[in-house]
Each structure stands twice: as structure tokens, then as C-alpha cells.
Amino acid sequence: MKGTTHLTIGVAIGSAAAAHYPFTLVNAATYIAVAAFSALSADLDGPSLLSSKASKISKWLHGLLLGSGWLLTAVTAYLYLSDHYINIPLGIACAALLLLGLVVRSGTIRNALVSAVGAALIYGGITMGMTWLIGFGIFVVWVPWLKHRGLTHTIWAVVAWGAIAWGLEQQLQLEGVMQIAVAGYLSHLIADTLTPSGVKWLYPLVKKPFKLPFL
């Protein structure tokens, strides 16, 4: 299912919450942000709306890696042909850049970038003594490396997400944050269940995807 669809559902849930709970602008914005983010974060396990910036940067980095590798190789070849001179460190740098560029898919660089953001969140959580932020950081570090629609699309992930959101609710002292986060996350899994490939809600206990038979 498309990220924009999940985002729309999340914003709808957040808006409903904003209407339901005592209204202030800050509260409404918080509810909508929490719901929208929760509705999107299950797809951090693949190219998604949330990691599209990272995707762009990683494509660019990948191109830079390969481009500079080929450029240095050309320089090395030129030096050898013109002066019969081989610069060893330069040669090693060429080989390293080319190998990295050829082996690492830009998806891997994207995942590493997302993980780096997660590591920064963990660091922030530790320095500010926020346990929920550490938990959220671990989620962001870990999830990009999971198989798409794997562990993030399970009931266990909903529980973990709820625990993180509970910590956020305690810190903000704002009623409903956890419920809204869980509703947002669940909305993602339900929406994906409506797609042809379905969702493995109980993975790895039950490896079969749940989907609606008439779709």
C-alpha cells in the first residue's frame, strides 16, 4: 500500500483524536503527528515515504562512490601509461571505492543512513534520560534491515510500538498518546491486510499471511 494512503489514514485518526480530547492547538498537532508517524513507521523496513530522503541521498552517495572510483582508476591508468608510474595508495583507493560501489546497493546505504538517525535518537535518549526515546531509536536502527512486511507488520511490533508511545505519553503528560499511536500503527497493518499480499500478523509463529479471501 502506498505511503500517502497510510499517511492520510494516520492524519484522519489524529484529527479524530484532536476532536475527541480537550482541544488546544499544541495537543491537536501532537495527536496528528503521533498518529501520522505511527501509520508510516511500519514501512521503515523498505523504501518508504519516511526514508525517501535517505533514498535520494543514498543514490547520490552511491553514484559518487562509483564515479570517484572510475575517475581515480582513469587517473591511475593515465599515470601508468604516461609515466610508467604506479601510485600504490591511489591504486588501493581505486580498488576500494570501486568494490564498495559495486558491492553495496544504494538500498544498503539508505538503510545505513536510517540506522544512523536511529543511533542519534538512542544517544539523545541516553543523554536526556528518556527511556522511550532509546526504545524508539532501537526500532529505527533495527527495522531498515528487516525483510519487508516481516516483523514490523506483526502484533508484536504493535505491542512494542505501544510501549514506546506509553513512555512518550508519560513524558508529555498528554492523555491518549499511546492509544493514538497504537491506532495509527494498527491502521497500517489493517490497510496492508487489504492488499493482495496480505500481512503476516503472527510472524514468525504463523508464517502464512492473513488476507481477505475475496480480494
Of residues 27 and 154, the one with the C-beta less far from Zn ion? 154
Least separation in angstroms between residue 199's CB and Zn ion is 8
43 binds Zn ion (CB under 5 A): yes
- Sign of the CA dihedral with 180 first, then 29, 169, and 137 last: positive
CB closer to Zn ion out of 6 and 62: 6
Count, residues near Zn ion per rule CB under 5 A: 3
Site track 172-191 with Zn ion (rule: CB under 5 A), x = hit: --------------------
Which residue among 7, 177, 192, 200 contacts Zn ion (CB under 5 A)?
192
| 169 near Zn ion, rule: CB under 5 A | no
Distances (CA, A) of 104 to 59, 110, 114, 116, 117: 11, 10, 15, 17, 19
Which helix (H) or strand (E) segment is 9 a member of?
Answer: helix 3-20
Ranges within 8-27 binding Zn ion (CB under 5 A): none
Q: How far is C-alpha 76 from the geometric centre of its chain's CA atoms?
A: 39
CA distance 144 to 44: 6
Residue 45 as a binder of Zn ion (CB under 5 A): the answer is no
CB of 107 to Zn ion, least distance (A): 16
Alpha helices (H) in 25-174, listed in sequence order: 25-41, 52-83, 88-103, 106-127, 131-142, 155-172
- Would you say 43 or 169 has its CB closer to Zn ion? 43
| Binding site residues, Zn ion, CB under 5 A | 42-43, 192
